[in-house]
Structure 1
């Protein structure tokens, strides 16, 4: 059991049992009260308090002993680690695919370490979180701010799990997580998609068909092999993508680490058959996921550069896609990348009456709820169908009564 020690006084015992409190050599110097207790690891811990703070010392001792009994004790020394030290450890030990690790490292080091890096974990309070977030307004886009805040909350949450701090300051009621602005998706018209397709080199045009007709992501299109297409059964097997990791092209799993099957329309199959005849697939070998690994995968790719190499999305976007978008009379923005083809695909399926669950599966979304939030405004209005159904029901009732 711990106790509170008064460093300014000591008790002297005299013959006959008389006791006397006398000043020590430390009287008037430094902090007066020192709490001494044994930690769960069997080692002695101590914490000092100033003069006239005996009640605070006693309250600390009671709280510490209670936490030990509950199993929620956190060693105060553990929280002295700086945020920078802990964040670097978190980045090193967190399970990421390499492309996600690269972007996460960049955000943490650029947007979190300058503010929190030198602070001790235990010293970070909700007020610091609010101060940092307010400073990011106007400097970061709302969506980026939201992602960086999520990194901060996850790092401090891991510190709680590692028993370095008692609670996560990001979870305080006074801290309001930044929310990204949810912009409404406005799908391109068919004539716009057709114009962009016509502005691409012939060897790249079927990429538009796969985006609008199968909903594949850009990296999934670039990583598609001829063996992934079942022309007879009418399916596309999405099992990999081409990713840019630390400036190197690698193969990797699709987003959310899930492969999937997507229906292959006859019109798209016809285009792909012709493409295979015009541009024979090229077998290319790339590293798998991590440029530092030795694992390699060989795929007969459908789409390659004019030099028969894997396509770098940054080069393709700058030299092929963006000029085609401009030539189609569309102002290039962050919303006019190849991802817009997936919006065209989603709007077409919803207009045809496809379910959100099926659409989420085809798009490779982990949560159908996300698909619903993004595309709910594109679902066909049901008001007219409701009127027709009720009118038909009432008319049938009139006929039966007559």
Structure 2
């Protein structure tokens, strides 16, 4: 049955005896609500309009989209952005708990305060421009790109759920996100490495040796166990990391979800032996990957606590926490080595208590040791594939993108080789 337009204010009356034409009679709802109702289109909910021209246009569009299976009722997009995120999008998210915590932080902090009161179908180019302006006044380019990516994911889910017809994050060509400043990996000098190491407490100094010799990430050093050191083969098995999920610590696979091996030079092995003699390894038990109580037998098996003899632990024998280590161990060592300024006293909290604060030092984080390891390997002309494998990159192209500027010059070897090749073929 094709769609039709119903006049809700008038209906056909009896024929006029004089003219023979049908008369019009006012209905009981004459003058109330919208006059023209489009109805009868298969799979399409009826909709009313004030003007006949609008009803005709919508009827034609709805009939065409209904036949092609592409009709989306715009009224489904009238749900508030906050309601859609909290009731539909977020409950459907799954994956690594730590990643989900990061996503939720970005969405609830940077998107819901600005867009939460808008309906989904009202979030178009003007609203996105206003959002971008607000974000640029409060956060940096990197965080803006992250938040924008999550917003695009939310709107795309709304498209897939047939609540809106278009994701304006993808189609708004006039919106340009701020350029992320390039970050060039920088290696530390031998002197800086030694100075920072000296500034750490003796029980955690071995972390510098592991980071700079084997290229492990900070979280991977936290999770390194005695059983992971293979002295005979001079390798370290990188099998796990210690991650923070919410306020709790867990063991998990290294970044990228895969294990690997890294080289362990004899000097590092010697330092590891000396460290373990002075600070014996401690058994630490943590859940695997997810600290939440399991709801199924499968989750219980996957999240079952595991125990490892960790090489580096906290003063009380527990696993190290990233934020605590950085604030209490790493930054004081950086300041002592002159890498960052000394802390300054500030007042914070309701009671305005005085605390010592260090500057942000992202470029001088533990990751700098990993960059240093890569620079030493590449300077020794180790293959890019080997370096990529040792660092745990997904493929060598990532390693090249990060560390190409550290690779030594060819010293004319390619030119000489080509010259010899040409002479031999002439």
- Partner SS state of residue 165, structure 2: coil
Equivalent of residue 82 in structure 2, options 81, 84, 99: 84
Matched residue, 1:162? 161
Aligned counterpart, 1:107: 106
Relative to structure 1, is the Cα distance of residues 368 and 75 closer, same or farther in structure 2, using a 3 angstrom cutoff?
farther
Partner of residue 226, structure 1: 226
Alignment pair present for 1:14 and 2:15: yes
For 1:67 and 1:387, locate their aligned partners in 2 and report how far apart those are by CA, in whole Å: 64
User: What residue in structure 1 maps to residue 35 of structure 2?
Assistant: 32
Equivalent residue for 1:308, pick from 317, 324, 339:
317
Please give the alpha-carbon distance, in whole angstroms, between the structure 1 residues aligned to 2:293 and 2:223: 19
Q: How many Å separate the matches in 1 of 2:195 and 2:101?
A: 35
- Residue 146 of structure 1 and its aligned partner are, at CA, apart by 0.7
2:12 counterpart SS class = strand
**2:381 maps to 1:353:** yes
Deviation string, structure 1 residues 65-90 (Cα, Å, up to 9, x no partner): 22223222223332122111221232
Displacement of 1:171 = 0.6
- The residue matched to 2:13 in structure 1 has which SS? strand
Work out the CA distance in 2 between the residues paired with 1:356 and 1:33: 70
> In the alignment, is the contact (CA less than 8 A) between 1:146 and 1:179 conserved in 2?
no
Structure 1 pair 358/25, CA: closer, same or farther in 2 (3 Å)? farther
Other-structure match for 1:145: 144
Deviation larger for 194-203 or 263-272: 263-272
Q: Which residue of 2 aligns with 1:57?
A: 55
Q: Is the 8 A contact 1:287 1:293 kept in 2?
A: no
Q: 1:247 maps to what in 2? A: 247
**Partner of residue 371, structure 1:** 399
Which residue in 2 is equivalent to 1:3? 4
Unpaired stretches in structure 2, ≥5 consecutive residues: 295-303, 341-358
In structure 2, distance between residues paired with 1:265 and 1:296: 32
CA apart distance, 1:392: 5.8
Counterparts of 1:201 and 1:7, CA distance in 2: 83
**Matches of 1:263 and 1:84, distance apart in 2:** 49
Which deviations, in whole Å up to 9, do the C-alpha atoms of 1:347-388 show, x marking residues without a partner?
Answer: 222222334443333222335433332222222234744454
Equivalent residue runs for 1:174-213 within 5 Å: 174-213=174-213
- Please state how far the C-alpha of 1:27 moved relative to its aligned partner: 4.8
Q: What is the alpha-carbon distance in structure 2 between the residues aligned to residue 73 and residue 357 of structure 1?
A: 51
**Native 8 Å contact 1:286 1:298 kept in 2:** yes
Q: CA deviation at 1:314?
A: 1.6
Kindly indicate whether residue 70 of structure 2 is the aligned counterpart of residue 67 of structure 1: no
Residue by residue over 1:299-320, the C-alpha shift from the partner in whole angstroms, topping out at 9 and shown as x without a partner, is 1111112321211222211221
Q: Shift of the alpha carbon at 1:102?
A: 1.6
Equivalent residue of 1:45, what SS? Answer: coil
Instruction: Give 1:201 shift.
Output: 2.1
Q: Using a 3 Å threshold, how does the CA distance of structure 1 residues 123 and 326 change in structure 2: closer, same or farther?
A: same
Superposed CA deviations along residues 259-301 of structure 1, whole A, max 9, x for unmatched, are: 2222333332222233233322111111222222352111111
- The question of 1:329 aligning with 2:367 is answered no
CA–CA distance in structure 2, aligned partners of residues 198 and 7 of structure 1: 86
CA distance in 1 between counterparts of 2:14 and 2:235 reads 92
Q: Bigger shift: 160-169 or 108-117?
A: 160-169
Q: Distance in 2 between matches of 1:268 and 1:2?
A: 79
Distance 2:109 2:153 in 1: 17
Q: CA deviation at 1:192?
A: 0.8
Q: CA deviation at 1:110?
A: 1.1
Displacement of 1:112 after TM fit? 0.4
Could you say what secondary structure the match of 1:257 adopts? Answer: coil
Distance of aligned partners of 1:179 and 1:9 in 2 relative to their CA distance in 1, 3 Å threshold: farther
Cα distance in 1 for residues equivalent to 2:59 and 2:238 = 60
Does the CA contact (< 8 Å) of 1:196 and 1:324 recur in 2?
Answer: yes
Report if the CA contact (8 A) 2:101-2:246 is conserved: yes
Q: Distance in 1 between matches of 2:381 and 2:231?
A: 25
C-alpha distance in 2 between matches for 1:81 and 1:280:
58
| TM-score scaled by length of structure 2 | 0.84
Change (3 A) 1:70 1:345: farther
